[in-house]
Amino acid sequence: MRKHRIGIAFFYHESHSFSPMKTEIEHFRNEGYFIGNEIYDAYTGTKTEVGGFLDVLKHDEDVEIVPLLCAAAIPSGVVSTNAYSIMEKQMLESIMQAGRMDGLLLALHGAMVVEDTFDPEEHLLGKIRELIGPGIPIATTLDMHANLSEKMLEYTPLHFGFKTYPHVDMYDQGVYAAKALMKQLRHGVKYYASFEKLPMMPPSINMRTSKGPMRKMIEWAKQAEEEEGICNVSVFGGFPYSDIPMAGASVVVVSLDPQRGKDTAEKLASLFWSVREEFIMELPNVKEGIDLAMSIEDDKPVVLADISDNPLSCGSGDTTELLREMLKMNIPDTLFGGLYDPESIKACRKAGVGNTVSLSLGGKVSPEFGKPVQVEATVVALSDGIFQNSGPFNQYLKVDLKGAAHIRVGNMDILLIGRPMSANDPEMFRHIGIEPSTRRILGLKAKNHFRAAFEPIVGRIIYVDAPGVASNRLTTFTYRHIPRPIWPLDDIQYEIEKRRTKEWKQ
């Protein structure tokens, strides 16, 4: 009996249409660009989608894994046409050179934007389908913040979205996708996909799945999956910083019965619309946030989360308003990081550990959100910036900050890093000798993902509404291509056929 040859690939980027930082091919190579057998070294044993693919397939004696291309970059501005063309060509060539394939597992994000292409992942999936033909099954994993169009479902019904935010089920969705694909191959299971696109684009700040409206949605989705014939329900909040026609929330249901799947998608869409107002949050400004943090007495650190400059929401990681105010207060036992500033790291290396150096901190990429801050700093420690995540988010994945420096300015410690990276894992600080759990106040360039690893070691978490390209206030962006009308930018009515909606809420 011949083995099933299953290709695995990964193509991942979340693109911000209003970010000044265009994403080039080197940004993918800095984060993760692996071809063929390199994929095994990069992802084996990691709690990622590809880690899930590998664990299912490598334990199946009837499967031969065909590693293709894995390319990922930290969220930032739109991907350049040149960078996308290089990766698309590499992906298609790797498939052509692989010879016979019986199936393909593809980890995508769902919110990539290219300079001249609104929906490059749909475009790529179409190219792949043309190449391998209509009969070879494809299964994808998708981020909860994907902006999906119905066109994606024409290429395959098997789409598996993350059900957690912070995303700690990437591995699980990779496992589900691989198992569904193998069922189709082995047993001829026929899957159907049902899709509902909603005219809403909720901010992601209150999209955590531990509580709030998205928790309700995920609970309803899991209830639906218990019904006969419903294989998977994915709820996508969308990514509101992508100015594209397919922006916004959606629901995808994978089923064995198209009518049952359609009914379920409509129910979930109706419920999604009913909780939309719960996604709106009013946040304190920087001064209000610091005053609140100072008023809290706790044995654990208080976190000031600079959400508008969170690199995983495409922030530059170098805005300075929160940094400036914290330096002005000069509060003992405070820590700020990571601040993207390779120029200052270079100056620290030149000065050497233990010495004082004059620095112009941050404000270089996005000076419109705060000019550089002039300081006299002591260089406490230097590192190459390489560590391995220990928390649940992207667990065991190697991270390369492209250098790091621990500096002290007055009473405050600051971690400088060599590329924009959210402070999502304590190892970012620990690898250079900083223990964040011992501080009174932490100023973090982060949003929601950091909670997975930090919640056990911190107390109160305060989101601050500082200026930044990832602002929670969507009215600050000049949209040109999103579908209109759309909530919350427009006051609209939306009604779809409702079946047993009240029953579902009980």
- In tens, the pLDDT along 156-187 reads 999 999 999 999 999 999 999 999 999 999 99
Q: How far apart are CA 167 and CA 235, in angstroms?
A: 13
pLDDT at 493: 81
Contact 403, 295 (CB under 8 A): no
Per-residue 3-state assignment (H helix, E strand, C coil) for 324-389: HHHHHHCCCCEEEEEEECHHHHHHHHHHCCCCEEEEEECCCCCHHHCCCEEEEEEEEEEECCEEEC
Beta strands in 188-272 (DSSP E): 192-197, 230-236, 250-255
- Reference 293, options 250, 344, 256, 329; nearest CA is 329
pLDDT at 1: 58
pLDDT at 20: 85
Q: How far apart are CA 248 and CA 269, in angstroms?
A: 12
| Cα angle: 197, vertex 200, 202; to 5 degrees | 125
pLDDT at 502: 44
If DSSP codes are grouped into helix, strand and coil, which group holds residue 2?
coil
Q: What 8-state DSSP symbol labels residue 78?
A: P
pLDDT at 2: 73
Sign of the CA dihedral running 388, 393, 395, 397: negative
Q: How far is CA 303 from the centre of its chain?
A: 21
Q: What 8-state DSSP symbol labels residue 143?
A: -
With residues binned 3-state (H G I as helix, E B as strand, rest as coil), the percentages for the chain, rounded to 5, are: 35, 25, 45
pLDDT at 417: 98
Contact 326, 375 (CB under 8 A): no
- What is the token pair recorded at 412? 């405050």
Q: What 8-state DSSP symbol labels residue 200?
A: B
Q: Which residue has the tokens 């692996």?
A: 34
Q: How far apart are CA 303 and CA 462, in angstroms?
A: 6
Per-residue 3-state assignment (H helix, E strand, C coil) for 94-105: HHHHCCCCCEEE
Sign of the CA dihedral running 493, 498, 504, 506: positive
pTM: 0.91
Q: Which residues pair with 356 in a beta bridge?
A: 378
Residues 212-236, buried b or exposed e (16+ Cβ, 10 A)?
bbbbbbbebbeebbeeeebbbbbbb
CA distance from start to end of the chain: 50
Per-residue pLDDT of the chain (506 residues), as tens digits, is 578 999 999 999 999 999 988 999 999 999 999 999 999 999 999 999 999 999 999 999 999 999 999 999 999 999 999 999 999 999 999 999 999 999 999 999 999 999 999 999 999 999 999 999 999 999 999 999 999 999 999 999 999 999 999 999 999 999 999 999 999 999 999 999 999 999 999 999 999 999 999 999 999 999 999 999 999 999 999 999 999 999 999 999 999 999 999 999 999 999 999 999 999 999 999 999 999 999 999 999 999 999 999 998 999 999 999 999 999 999 999 999 999 999 999 999 999 999 999 999 999 998 999 999 999 999 999 999 999 999 999 999 999 999 999 999 999 999 999 999 999 999 999 999 999 999 999 999 999 999 999 999 999 999 998 989 989 889 999 999 999 999 999 988 876 644 444 444 44
- CA distances, 303 to each of 185, 279, 441, 457 (Å): 49, 21, 6, 11
pLDDT at 291: 96
Q: How far apart are CA 33 and CA 42, in angstroms?
A: 9
